[in-house]
Each structure stands twice: as C-alpha cells, then as structure tokens.
C-alpha cells in the first residue's frame, strides 16, 4: 500500500517533457501549447496528482497558513468567530492554525513563537485576559508577519484591530428598558480596568441623560465577573435606596449568575426584576429564565472582518504597510429575546 504520491517529475518523464512544462501546463500558463496542456492535465488526473503543498510552501517562502490565537475555543463567542475565519480562509485557499491560550500569558507567548517557526503568513489574535506585556506581538511585526487583533485589543499603538462598539449597544439596551417603562435601571459592570467597562458606563450615562433623567452613580456597580462578585453586586443593587426594576449585566455568564442568585432570593423574575445582557449565548435557549434582551456583538462578523483585513495586508505585503493601520468598529445591536416569557 502506501503509494507514494505522484510528482510533477514523474508526469514529465512519462510524457517526455520537462518538469517546467508540466508545472506551467497545470497552471494554464499561456506559453504552453494547448495540446501539451491537455495531455498533461489528463495524465495528472489519471495519476491522481496532487501538488505537494510542503514543497510549494517552501518554494514560495510562504505557507498559505494563517495563525489564530484565542483564549478559549469552548466559548461560543470565539467558536463562532473561528467558523467565520475558517470559511473565508478556505475560500482563499488558506489554512488556519488554531491555538488556545487558555487566557495564559506564558502560553500565549509560546504559541506566538510556534506560529513564527511555522512561518504563518499572518496572525489573528484575541489576547489573553492576563496578558500585560505585549512585546511578543511586536517581534512578529519585525519579522514581517502582520497581526490583526479582534475583540480583545491590546492597548498599544499601531495595530490593526476589529472590535465592537459597546457604547451604542448599551445605549440601545438602556433605551429599550426605558421604553418598556422602567425608570430605575441598575448596571452590573465589569472591572474598571477593562476598556469595555468604560464604554458600557458611558453608554448607560448617555441613554439616561438623553432621556432627561438624572444619572445616579449608585446604580452602576463594578464587579470582578466571578459568580461571587456578581452576587455581591446584585445584593448591593437590591439594597440601594432606589431599588432597580431592571439590570444590565456585563455579559451572559454574569447575567446567569445574577438570575440564579435572584431566584434564590425569591425574587419574581417575571414581574419585579428584568435583566438585559450582552453576547446572546446559545445556551440562553436552554434556560428557564433568561435576559429579556441581549446586546449582540456579532462574533462571526468580527472574525470575518479580521480575516478580510489580514488577507488585504497579505496581498499588499510588498508596499510598506506601516503607513496605514486598520481599525474597524462594529456596531453592536440589541436583540430582544423572543423566548421572553410573557406571562
């Protein structure tokens, strides 16, 4: 068994032509006669010829491979992005080398090293939560390997990035709650260190003031996004002078923790307290009590945009790409949950 794959050489030998002729014939090069071209292609098909990608990669000095580093594949947000990136890469005859950092900075560094050795043509990255030093990314740029960041963008200059505008999404969320009658709206926000937290808060403020209500700082509480932190944040909000009738949470997990805790406190989630969240996880479909709306961040679209930018960069590699840095912002969108219980 184990038939060695057919090579261009063998085809050339059989047809008594040179390897270059075969190569060009297979690529429909104009300088090859039509009859020769057909002869070659016919035999190639018969012998089941498949070009040896390894040889091509080596020869061309590029791998037609893009690297993709993200925190966790099991998070629905990222796996959606992966699918989108994969699809686009597939169309362009690229392959995707996927790796998970597990939100570990060291691992991320090693993966970058690995990607470099593998001579990936470019990289799409969503950085680990814990990453504080970003030198390893800059090294890659010096090697001429372009990087596009998405969703989690490092705070450094001169990078290509794709991210979601959290502010407008938050405005939509709060406005929606105001429209359906809520007047006292709480927010369980993320830690202040995250840029995304700041955007959410800004959006909250905007929506409140634009509707001629006055902003109450005690209704926005930070939390570390753990289950315990969320419980404490909820407790704080519930014991506030003005008790909120609706709460905007930082993300879906966050919302679920809060909902769980609220139910334990015997709060009627159909009447007394509503939640709005971010991300729109599929697991929402399996829950009994779910947020009444979610701010969708379009992970697939983010991934697609990131990939488009990367391919653009790869195409124009000759020109000094240092001149222009892409920075795409995607508008988030409020999705009102259809499964919303109307009892």
Nearest approach in angstroms of CB 288 to its own copies is: 5
Partner from DNA, its own copies, none contacting 256, C-beta within 5 to 8 A by type: its own copies
In this structure, the number of other CB atoms found within 10 A of the CB of residue 241 comes to 8
- Number of residues located near DNA, criterion CB under 7 A: 30
Residue span binding DNA (CB under 7 A) among the ranges 31-39, 62-70, 80-88, 200-208: 31-39
Nearest approach in angstroms of CB 145 to DNA is: 15
Binding status of residue 56 toward DNA by CB under 7 A: yes
Q: Of 149 and 253, which CB lies nearer to its own copies in the complex structure?
A: 253
Query: Which sign does the torsion angle of CA 153, 110, 97, 57 carry?
Result: positive
Nearest approach in angstroms of CB 161 to DNA is: 31
Nearest approach in angstroms of CB 164 to DNA is: 39
Partner from its own copies, DNA, none contacting 17, C-beta within 5 to 8 A by type: DNA
Nearest approach in angstroms of CB 11 to DNA is: 8
Nearest to 52 by CA among 6, 19, 10: 6
68 sits in which H/E element: strand 65-70
Binding status of residue 16 toward DNA by CB under 7 A: yes
Instruction: Determine which residue in the list 13, 28, 38, 58 makes contact with DNA, applying CB under 7 A.
Output: 58
53 sits in which H/E element: helix 53-60
Instruction: Determine which residue in the list 21, 249, 294, 297 makes contact with DNA, applying CB under 7 A.
Output: 21
Binding status of residue 74 toward DNA by CB under 7 A: no
Which residues are bridge partners to 249 per DSSP?
188
Decide: residue 111, CB within 10 A, 0-12 exposed, 13-18 middle, 19+ buried. Answer: buried
Partner from DNA, its own copies, none contacting 44, C-beta within 5 to 8 A by type: none
Instruction: Determine which residue in the list 2, 3, 34, 319 makes contact with DNA, applying CB under 7 A.
Output: 34
Backbone φ and ψ for 232, nearest 5 degrees, come out as -65, -40
Q: At what angle do helices 252-264 and 227-238 cross, to 10 degrees?
A: 60
Nearest approach in angstroms of CB 299 to its own copies is: 10
Binding status of residue 51 toward DNA by CB under 7 A: yes
Nearest approach in angstroms of CB 315 to DNA is: 15
The count of residues in the chain is 343
CA distance 260 to 200: 23
Backbone φ and ψ for 86, nearest 5 degrees, come out as -55, -45
Cα 234 to Cα 58, 224, 225, 259, 316, distances in angstroms: 57, 12, 12, 9, 51
328 sits in which H/E element: strand 327-331
Tell me which residues touch its own copies (CB under 8 A): 1-3, 5, 50-55, 57-58, 61, 63, 72-74, 76, 79-80, 82-83, 86, 90, 95-100, 102, 114, 116-119, 141-144, 253, 256-257, 260, 263, 282-283, 286-289, 320, 322
- Report the SS3 class of residue 187: strand
Applying CB under 7 A, which residues contact DNA?
A: 4, 7-9, 16-21, 23-24, 26-27, 31-37, 49, 51-52, 55-56, 58-61
């Amino acid at each position: 068994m184990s038939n060695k794959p057919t090579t261009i050489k063998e085809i050339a030998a059989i047809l008594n032509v040179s390897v270059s002729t075969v190569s060009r014939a297979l690529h429909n090069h104009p300088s090859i006669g039509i009859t020769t071209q057909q002869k070659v292609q016919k035999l190639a098909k018969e012998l089941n010829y498949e070009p040896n990608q390894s040889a091509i990669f080596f020869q061309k000095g590029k791998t037609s491979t893009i690297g993709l580093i993200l925190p966790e594949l099991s998070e629905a947000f990222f796996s959606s992005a992966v699918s989108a990136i994969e699809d686009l890469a597939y169309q362009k005859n690229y392959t995707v080398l996927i790796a998970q950092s597990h939100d570990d900075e060291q691992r991320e560094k090693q993966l970058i090293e690995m990607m470099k050795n593998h001579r990936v043509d470019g990289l799409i990255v969503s950085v680990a939560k814990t990453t504080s030093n970003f030198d390893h990314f800059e090294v890659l740029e010096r090697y001429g390997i372009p990087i596009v960041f998405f969703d989690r963008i490092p705070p450094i200059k001169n990078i290509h990035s794709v991210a979601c505008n959290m502010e407008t999404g938050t405005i939509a969320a709060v406005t929606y709650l105001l429209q359906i009658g809520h007047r006292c709206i709480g927010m369980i926000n993320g830690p202040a260190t995250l840029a995304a937290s700041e955007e959410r808060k800004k959006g909250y403020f905007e929506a409140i003031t634009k509707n001629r209500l006055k902003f109450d700082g005690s209704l926005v509480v930070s939390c570390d996004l753990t289950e315990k932190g969320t419980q404490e944040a909820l407790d704080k909000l519930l014991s506030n002078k003005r008790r909120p009738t609706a709460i905007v949470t930082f993300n879906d997990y966050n919302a679920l923790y809060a909902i769980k805790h609220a139910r334990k406190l015997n709060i009627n989630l159909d009447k007394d307290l509503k939640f709005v969240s971010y991300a729109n996880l599929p697991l929402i479909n399996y829950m009994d009590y779910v947020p009444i709306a979610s701010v969708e961040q379009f992970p697939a679209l983010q991934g697609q945009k990131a990939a488009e930018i990367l391919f653009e960069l790869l195409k124009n590699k000759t020109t000094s790409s240092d001149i222009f840095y892409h920075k795409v912002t995607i508008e988030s969108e409020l999705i009102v949950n259809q499964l919303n219980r109307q009892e």
